Amino acid sequence: MDPWKAALTLYALAGLGALAHWAKRRLRGETPDGLFDHLGENFGHTLLSLFASLGAISSEIAALVANGTPVDGSPQSLALAFLTGYGADSALNKGSG
C-alpha cells in the first residue's frame, strides 16, 4: 500500500473510532443528540478529541518512519488508529447527556 494512502487510512480510521464512540453513547441513551447536533453543541471538545487523535496518529507514523518500518497499513496499525480515535473521544469529548 502506498504510504500516503496508508497514512490517510489511519487518520480516517481514527475518525471512525470517534464516530463509533458517539454511536455507542447514542445507543446507550447517554446522549440524546443527533450526530450533527452533538458536534455543534460540543464543538470545542470535538476539536480537542480530533486534534489529540491526529497528533497520536502522526506520532505513530513518525515512529514507524524513524524505525525504518514501512507505513503500510498493517492490521496492528489499523486497529491502533481506530482505538486511538475511540479512546480520545471517550476521554476528551464527554458531550451532553
Q: Predicted confidence band at 86 (pLDDT cuts at 50, 70, 90)?
A: very high
* Strand, coil or helix: 71: coil
The CA dihedral of 17, 20, 21, 26, to the nearest 10 degrees, is 170
Distances (CA, A) of 33 to 16, 18, 27, 41, 86: 18, 15, 11, 9, 18
Average pLDDT of span 33-50: 86
pTM attached to this predicted model:
0.86
> What integer pLDDT is reported at residue 65 of this predicted model?
87
C-alpha cell at 34: 443527533
Q: What is the mean pLDDT of the chain?
A: 88
Q: Predicted confidence band at 19 (pLDDT cuts at 50, 70, 90)?
A: very high
Q: What is the phi/psi pair of residue 88, to 5°?
A: -65, -45
Q: Predicted confidence band at 95 (pLDDT cuts at 50, 70, 90)?
A: low
Q: Predicted confidence band at 35 (pLDDT cuts at 50, 70, 90)?
A: confident
